[in-house]
Amino acid sequence: MLDALLEKIEGQTARVAVIGQGYVGLPLAMAFSRAGFPVTGVEADPEKVAHLNAGTSHIPDIPSRVLAEALGCGYAATGDPAKLAEADAILITVPTPYTKTKQPDMTYVRQAAGAVAAHLREGQLVVLESTTYPGTTEELLIPELETSGLRAGVNFEVAYSPERIEPGNRQFGLWNTPKVVGGLTPRATELAAALYRTVVERVVVVSSPAAAEMTKLLENTYRHVNIALANEMAQFCHRLGLDVWEIIEAAGTKPFGFTPFYPGPGVGGHCIPIDPYYLVWKAQENETVVRLVELAGQINEAMPDWVVARLADLLNDRGQSLRGSRVLLVGMSYKKDVPDLRESPALRVLEKLHRKGAHVCYHDPVVPSLPAHFGGLCSCPLSPETLSEVDAVVLLTDHSSLDQELLARHAPVVLDTRNLLKEHRTESVVAL
C-alpha cells in the first residue's frame, strides 16, 4: 500500500489533509490544491470553516480569489476529523505555544495526533510540521498514533518537516523556501520528499525527524540571539551617545563576516519568542545548559521595559511625568504590514504604560481593534488633531502605509523604535 501511495503522489492523485488552517496550514493547503491534489483542510474553529467554505480568507498571504480557485478545484474545509480516514497524506500544522513557565505546550499536537489515531488506516503518510523540540515525533506523536493498533514504519509512515513560512514575506514563500524533511524510515523520507517536491523547488533531506526538528530550532535561535545582540548594542550605544542605526549601517557595508540585525521593542510572532525556549527546555531535560540562548531571551524580553524607560526620560526632559501623560502607540502587530498580534512586544509596552498610569491610545492601519482583555481599544485615526491631543508617540511597528511626514511634523515627541523616521530626525523625533 505504501508503494501505491508513492504512485499516487507522483501522479498527484493522493488525497491530502492539512490539520490546522491558519498562517501555516492554509498556505500549505492552497499549494497542494494548485498542484492538482484533492485537499481537505481540517479546522477546529467552526467559524473559520464556514468562512473558508464561503471563499473568505482570514490569512493576508492568501487572497480570497486564491481560496475561491481552490474551492473550485475540490478544496474543502471541515471540522469533522473523520475525514482524515479518506486522506492518503496527513499534514499536522497546529500551534505549539509555551506555558507560563516557558515549557512546551503540546496540547494541540496531542489533540491532532489523537484525531489522526482515531481514523488512521494502513498505507497513510503522517507528517508533523509544527515547530517543536527534538524528539517530539518519535517520543510523542508516534506513540499516540500507534494507539490505533498500527505500527509506524510498518503499516503507515511518519516524517517531520518544519514549516518555514514567514507571514508577510513577499520575497520568500512556500515554493522558493527549501523544505527540510526527516522521516522515521527511508521509505517515510522518500514519500514525504516526493510529496513536498510537488509544491517546493527544493527538498533537503536529513537523517531523522529529530534532526529536522533541531534544524528549525537552530534557525530561529540564530535570529533570536542576533536580535538580542542588536538590542544590547542599542542600549550600550545610547549610553555612549552613539546612533546604533548608523553603526549597523556602516558595519553592514562589510561584504563578508557580518549580517545586519536590528534592534526594536522586543520580538514577536509565532516563532522567535517561543522556539528558543523549546531548546532551553530540551537542554534542561538532558542536564545541559544553553547559556547564550537563555541570556538572549532575557535581553529580548526586557526590551519593552527599556522602551518605557526611554519614553519616561523623554517626557521628563520636557518637564512631564509618565503618570498621567497621554501616549499614542503607533503599530500594535508584531511586524510590518501583518495583522498578527501573537506575542507582539507592542502589547507588552501597552500593558506596562497602563500600569505606570499613562493614558494610552493606539493607531494601527491593519489592526482595527484589540482583544477584550486589552480594554477593547480601537485604532484611532492618525491625524494632526489626534497628534495634538497626546504628549508623546511611540512608533512600535513600521507599517508601510504610515504617514512619516505627518508623524514627524505634528507629534510633540516621537520615540521611534524601528528607525522608520530616520529621514525626519529632529530633537522631537528620537530613535531607540
Q: Check if the beta carbon of residue 266 is closer than 8 Å to that of residue 234.
A: no
High-pLDDT (> 70) share of the chain, %: 100
pLDDT in tens, 61-107: 899 999 999 999 999 999 999 999 999 999 999 999 999 899 999 99
- Which pLDDT value is given to residue 281? 94
Give the DSSP letter string of 48-79: HHHHHHTT---STTS-HHHHHHHHHTT-EEES
- Other beta carbons within 10 angstroms of residue 299's beta carbon come to 20
Q: What is the pLDDT of residue 24?
A: 94
Rounded Cα distance between 394 and 184, Å, is 49
Backbone angles phi, psi at 181, to 5 degrees: -135, 130
**What backbone torsions phi and psi does residue 267 show, to the nearest 5 degrees?**
-115, 150
For residue 271, indicate whether it is catalytic: yes
What average pLDDT does this structure show over 122-132? 97
**75-94 core/surface letters (b: 16 or more CB in 10 A; e: else):** bebbeebebbeebbbbbbbb
pLDDT value of position 170: 85
pLDDT tens column, 177-189: 999 999 999 999 9
Predicted confidence (pLDDT) at residue 2 exceeds the cutoff of 90: no
Give the model's pLDDT for residue 1: 77
Residue span(s) of the chain under CATH 1.10.1040.10 come to: 209-300
- Of the candidates 73, 271, 361, 380, the residue annotated as catalytic is 271
Q: What pLDDT is attached to residue 226?
A: 98
- Vertex 277 angle, CA 272 and 280, to 5°: 135
Checking if the pLDDT of 392 tops 80, the result is yes
Mean pLDDT within 5-10 = 96
Considering the chain, what is the average pLDDT of its residues? Answer: 96
pTM (predicted TM-score)? 0.93
Phi first, then psi, for residue 232 (nearest 5°) are -65, -40
Helices 291-301, 275-285: axis angle to 10 degrees equals: 140
**CATH superfamily, with its number, for domain 302-432:** NAD(P)-binding Rossmann-like Domain (3.40.50.720)
> What pLDDT score was predicted for residue 167?
81
155-176, pLDDT tens digit by residue?
Answer: 999 999 999 988 888 899 999 9
Average pLDDT over residues 418-432: 95
User: Which residue matches cell numbers 534532526?
Assistant: 211
Check residue 376 and give its pLDDT.
84
- In this prediction, residue 112 carries a pLDDT of 98
Q: What is the pLDDT of residue 61?
A: 87
Mean of the pLDDT values across residues 383-387? 97
Could you give the count of Cα atoms lying within 13 Å of 307 in the half-sphere of its Cβ? 33
Q: Is the pLDDT of residue 251 over 80?
A: yes
Taking only the tens place, the pLDDT of each residue in 286-303 is: 999 999 999 999 999 999
pLDDT at 108: 97
Residue 81, CB half-sphere, CA atoms under 13 Å: how many? 16
Q: How confident is the model at residue 240 (pLDDT cuts 50, 70, 90)?
A: very high
Tell me, rounded to whole angstroms, the distance of Cα 274 from its chain centroid. 9
Question: CA 183, 187, 189, 194: dihedral to nearest 10 degrees?
Answer: -150
The CATH number of 209-300 is 1.10.1040.10
- Supply the CATH classification number for the domain 2-207: 3.40.50.720
Average pLDDT over residues 248-268: 97
On whether the CB atoms of residues 348 and 308 are closer than 8 A, the answer is: no
Question: Looking at residue 308, what is its pLDDT?
Answer: 98
Going by pLDDT thresholds of 50, 70 and 90, the confidence category of residue 5 is very high
Would the pLDDT of 271 be above 90?
no
- Cα angle vertex 327, ends 322, 329, to 5°? 130
Q: Where does the chain hold its CATH 3.40.50.720 domain(s)? A: 2-207, 302-432
pLDDT value at residue 168: 81
Amino acid 235: pLDDT: 98
Q: What does the pLDDT look like over 316-368, one tens digit per residue? A: 999 999 999 999 999 999 999 999 999 999 999 999 999 999 999 999 999 99
List Cα–Cα distances, 273 to 179, 244, 366, in angstroms. Answer: 22, 23, 22
